[in-house]
Structure 1
Amino acid sequence: MSLDLEKIIRNAYQVAEVQDIPGWIDCFTEDGTFTDQSVGVTYRGAEVGEPVRTYAQAFPDMHRELYDVYVRGDIVVVELSLNGTHQGELTLPMGSIRATGKTIQVPCCDVFRLREDKIESFNCYPSGTVLMAQLGVLNNLEAAFAH
């Protein structure tokens, strides 16, 4: 069973990698959730596609480098980095950051709970501090966000 759950999650990452939003949504149970812990927002239903769409817009070359995958019961934990070039507007709950042209390599930890071969919950823990520092806005957050 562990190998199967790992395969399901690796497939989900591949679907996100090619920016297949309907395919990504289909990876989730009907009541599945995606929580971006760096901004404190939980997406449900078709909304689970929004973070993938948002990051694809901001980082069209987004690549998720998977380092380690751990499976225990119905839980899969993945250590990874989010990599890309900031070429479009990054829209966050607190505002938007215009393209900076900067490259990111943001450490992240993802925790998935699966049910019947689908993602029931996905808690994404990207390092928001590292992301903001790499985009060059950490020391001037107020000026960086368009209101």
Structure 2
Amino acid sequence: MTIDLRELTAEDLELVEFARGIVDANTDGEAGVHTMGAAVRGTDGRMYGGINLYHFTGGPCAELVALGHARASGARELATIVAVGNYGRGPVGPCGRDRQILFDYHPRIRVILPTGEGVRSVRIRDLMPLGAVWTVEEGTQPYDPGVFAG
């Protein structure tokens, strides 16, 4: 499997800065409940943000809040997402739950995250090797290598 790593574009860098602005403006400390900001860009270029809400029951990650914000604002197709930590921690890759949700709802989205080659964008499909597609209508589907082609 070849991973489609791409250097960040000017739009990607703008998205990272948008997420950084969200977390910088709203963080409440290293041990606080608001420590990650996220931003997602729709295919129309509009950006939507979110911040995490840490809770012992597994409160929503910043990425999920940003996805909800985008959806509530009318965005249906999303191009790129990034999460950024407070105190200058920079981009952070999505957790497993977020990866599965991104894969299921936005299978063409690119994710900005740190890699061995620096911060890059990658297709969500490349973060989900051997992933199983889930839909509301049909539940979890058997592995389909065609999902990962091209």
Q: What TM-score, normalized by structure 1, do the two folds share?
A: 0.27
Structure with bigger RCO (C-alpha 8 Å, 6+ apart): 1
Q: What TM-score, normalized by structure 2, do the two folds share?
A: 0.26
